Chain A
Amino acid sequence: MNKTFSAAEANGALVQVSQLSKSFANGAGFIEVLREVNLKVFPGELLAVMGPSGSGKSTLLFILGLFLHPTGGSYHLAGREVLHLNRSAQAEFRRRRVGFVFQSCDLLENSTVYENLEFPLIYAGVDRRERPALIAGALDQVNLRHRLHHATNHLSGGERQRVGVARALVNQPQVILADEPTGQLDRSNGHLIMDHFREFVKGGETAVVVVTHDPEMAARCTRVCLLEDGVLYER
């Protein structure tokens, strides 16, 4: 997939990165983690990015989530170049267009499920009266509405990850980025999460990028890419 996209080819892509590279400094010099990566993700796609540990999968995902700045290349999200935006505008993009699911079932501790799902809405400026319906809707999508006011530390690992997915969904983003979302779950819970992602992209207007090293989960995606030594290959 080492091919540079033309503007015409980019039409319709939700995510498009070209010649993306990222290197980190260490004591001895620079480590190149991503090398001229080109990638397009279209609406309706459930893309799996596979690769061995240290291959740069999470780094790629963090760049797509605008958490990291690449060393070179360009990145268009929903048709707009986003790397040159300031921090505030990037945060605005994250709020409106991107949902992120972390590997370690990261939820806000000492909080309820409702509060966890409320924060993205607070930051997006959604009116307090509109929030309960949106939160209930997101929990419906992961079949956890009955856990609405439960404390997060009373949830099982699978439930915590599904709350994480619901939190990514609550702002109705265009793209969900998931960093090994099934890595700490058993098989059945892992499949449940993948079911939610498939449901999410079914309408054909949204996309999910999942980083995984589990071939069984990757097999449930519509497209699989392989990242090795910082180079991305289509599989």
Chain B
Amino acid sequence: MRLNDLLYVSIRQVLRHRRRYLGVVLAISLGVAGFISVITMSRDVKRNINRDLALIGGVTLIRLHWENAPFQKPQWFRDDTISDLRRLPGVDEVSPLAQTWSYSIQQGRKYPFMLLAVDESFWATRGFWPLKGRLFGPEEVDGRQREVVLGADLAQKIFGTQEVVGSLLEINHDLYRVAGVLGGLVDGGLSDAAFLPLTTAQDRIPGLSLTNRLYVRCFTWDDVAQVAAAIPGIVQAHQSPEHLRVEVFWEGLKRVRHVVWWIESFIYVAIGATLILGGLGIWNVMMAAVRSRTREIGLKKAMGAEDKDILAQFLSEALCLSLSAALVGVALGRLVMEITGFILGSHPPEELFLLCLVLGLLFAVGLGVGAGLYPSLMASRMEVVSAVRYE
């Protein structure tokens, strides 16, 4: 039997019995689509989950600071150190920070607070967003503008309300316009703090320490250990790493990874189960097809078909099923990938999708052969007389 005849006959057969095969095709295509979606979008989804989890546990945040002891020359992070840290693989954001105590006098009353000098990357690094107004950006930082962001409690304390956007606040005898009120999961007393653009604060706030604190946000928790290990080397390239402290929330990281490992395992098990069910489905429908087509098998052998022709035909039908299901799955997976990419605002590399496509098709071939072999062998070994007399 020629290959083109084999394909033609098999495709015709599958199309004629498409209703019988619909469930199996659907199961396999869902499995393949799930596989493609998980593989292509997992990094972006993980990154998003990271951001959300970081708000709770800060597990992808590495804290760097100097333990400046008395009678020692104070240390701070140089600009080239910060630039190199930003270029480190696995690093999403780096935010420098300087701090001092300050106060404001409002209607004759003095309000002390912690003053933090930060740049525009601080908000994304710590996962903050504006509760009111806006958080200052690169323009305000580069323009050394006199703007301030207040913690919600501090705004309430000084002004008696959080509706303070546009108000003027006096800090160290200078007036600053309130740009916004800090929102998000504010921890560590930051709700009682005020935030100034780093450049403005360095110009105007006497006694402000140099940037002796850095926050490094990693893309995913998988990057944390590697980034933490690389930091001392990067720092050493530009300055002495003596008294440098690198803090990672290892326990939190371990727990988050553990939880996500379980979630990922469940997803993979679900996909695997779907594909195995699809395989069993192929096996089942092919067994049913062999039984219901017993007379047909006998007739074809009487017409001169050899065992290998019958084997090839049933195997090819199983392959047609699994491959067509895989193709539908690839199309579905691509659709899911595009939609998820649109929602997350990212697009995975095209090569990764092509790799998944090839893997999906190879898997379909394996599934088709694996699930179709036994029924096909059964069909090919039938004796003509018993087959044509089968009722």
**Pair B385/A87 contact, Cβ less than 8 Å:** no
Q: Is B303 an interface residue (CB 8 A)?
A: yes
A114-B130 Cα distance, complex, nearest whole Å: 75
- B303-362 at interface with A (beta carbon < 8 Å): 303-309
**Pair B304/A65 contact, Cβ less than 8 Å:** no
A109-B296, A123-B300 given; A91·B385 CB < 8 A = no
Residue in A88, A92, A100 whose Cβ sees the most chain B Cβ within 10 Å:
A100
Q: Is A57 an interface residue (CB 8 A)?
A: no
Q: Is B302 an interface residue (CB 8 A)?
A: yes
Closest A residue, CB atoms, query B299: A106
Q: Is A128 an interface residue (CB 8 A)?
A: yes
Q: Is B5 an interface residue (CB 8 A)?
A: yes
A95-B304 Cα distance, complex, nearest whole Å: 4
Q: Is B67 an interface residue (CB 8 A)?
A: no
Cβ contacts under 8 Å, B9 to chain A: 122
Q: Mark A77-120, 1 if CB is under 8 A from B, else 0.
A: 00000000001100110111000101000111110000000011
**Pair A120/B299 contact, Cβ less than 8 Å:** no
- B254-303 at interface with A (beta carbon < 8 Å): 295-296, 299-303
Least Cβ distance of B3 to chain A in Å? 12
**Pair A124/B306 contact, Cβ less than 8 Å:** no
A164-B236 Cα distance, complex, nearest whole Å: 90
B302 touches which of A67, A125, A128 (Cβ 8 Å): A67
Q: Is B1 an interface residue (CB 8 A)?
A: yes
**Pair A88/B302 contact, Cβ less than 8 Å:** no
**Pair A87/B307 contact, Cβ less than 8 Å:** yes
B296 touches which of A67, A100, A102, A108 (Cβ 8 Å): A108
Contact residues of B: prevailing secondary structure: helix
Q: Is B16 an interface residue (CB 8 A)?
A: yes
Least Cβ distance of B290 to chain A in Å? 15
A69-B302 Cα distance, complex, nearest whole Å: 14
B303 touches which of A68, A92, A119 (Cβ 8 Å): A119
Q: Mark A197-211, 1 if CB is under 8 A from B, else 0.
A: 000000000000000
Q: Mark B1-44, 1 if CB is under 8 A from A, else 0.
A: 11011000100000010000000000000000000000000000
A110-B16, A122-B5 given; A167·B303 CB < 8 A = yes
Interface size on B, residues (CB 8 A): 23
A96-B306 Cα distance, complex, nearest whole Å: 13
A92-B306 Cα distance, complex, nearest whole Å: 8
Q: Is A62 an interface residue (CB 8 A)?
A: yes
Q: Is B383 an interface residue (CB 8 A)?
A: yes
Q: Is B384 an interface residue (CB 8 A)?
A: yes
**Pair B301/A62 contact, Cβ less than 8 Å:** no
**Pair A67/B385 contact, Cβ less than 8 Å:** yes
**Pair A120/B295 contact, Cβ less than 8 Å:** no
Cβ contacts under 8 Å, B303 to chain A: 94-95, 100, 119-120, 123, 167
**Pair B299/A91 contact, Cβ less than 8 Å:** no
A119-B300, A125-B2, A128-B5 given; A68·B307 CB < 8 A = no
Cβ contacts under 8 Å, A167 to chain B: 303
Least Cβ distance of A50 to chain B in Å? 21
**Pair A94/B385 contact, Cβ less than 8 Å:** no
**Pair A120/B385 contact, Cβ less than 8 Å:** no
A123 touches which of B1, B296, B307, B384 (Cβ 8 Å): B1
B385 touches which of A68, A95, A107, A124 (Cβ 8 Å): A68
Q: Is B388 an interface residue (CB 8 A)?
A: yes
Cβ contacts under 8 Å, A107 to chain B: 299
Least Cβ distance of B310 to chain A in Å? 10
Cβ contacts under 8 Å, B296 to chain A: 108-109
Cβ contacts under 8 Å, A124 to chain B: 304
**Pair B384/A67 contact, Cβ less than 8 Å:** yes
A108-B299, A110-B16 given; A102·B388 CB < 8 A = yes
Cβ contacts under 8 Å, A108 to chain B: 296, 299-300
A94-B302 Cα distance, complex, nearest whole Å: 7
Closest B residue, CB atoms, query A123: B304
Cβ contacts under 8 Å, B385 to chain A: 62, 67-68
A102-B295 Cα distance, complex, nearest whole Å: 12
Cβ contacts under 8 Å, B1 to chain A: 122-123, 125
A106-B299, A108-B299 given; A91·B5 CB < 8 A = no
Closest A residue, CB atoms, query B304: A95
Least Cβ distance of A170 to chain B in Å? 9
A128-B3 Cα distance, complex, nearest whole Å: 12
A124-B300 Cα distance, complex, nearest whole Å: 12
A171-B304 Cα distance, complex, nearest whole Å: 10
Closest A residue, CB atoms, query B12: A115
Residue in B1, B4, B16, B306 whose Cβ sees the most chain A Cβ within 10 Å:
B306
**Pair A91/B300 contact, Cβ less than 8 Å:** no
A65-B384 Cα distance, complex, nearest whole Å: 10
Cβ contacts under 8 Å, A123 to chain B: 1, 300, 303-306, 309
Least Cβ distance of B173 to chain A in Å? 94
Least Cβ distance of A29 to chain B in Å? 21
Cβ contacts under 8 Å, B4 to chain A: 128
A171-B4 Cα distance, complex, nearest whole Å: 20
A123-B300, A125-B2 given; A88·B306 CB < 8 A = yes
Given A107-B299, A125-B1, output 18 extra A-B contacts at Cβ < 8 Å.
Answer: A62-B385, A65-B302, A67-B383, A67-B384, A68-B385, A87-B306, A87-B307, A88-B306, A91-B301, A94-B304, A95-B303, A106-B299, A108-B300, A122-B2, A123-B300, A123-B303, A123-B306, A128-B5
8 pairs from A and B in contact (CB 8 Å cutoff): A62-B385, A67-B301, A88-B306, A91-B301, A106-B299, A122-B5, A125-B1, A167-B303
Q: When A and B form their complex, which 8 residue pairs have the shortest distance between CB atoms, in order from nearest?
A: A95-B304, A67-B384, A123-B304, A91-B306, A120-B303, A94-B304, A122-B5, A100-B302
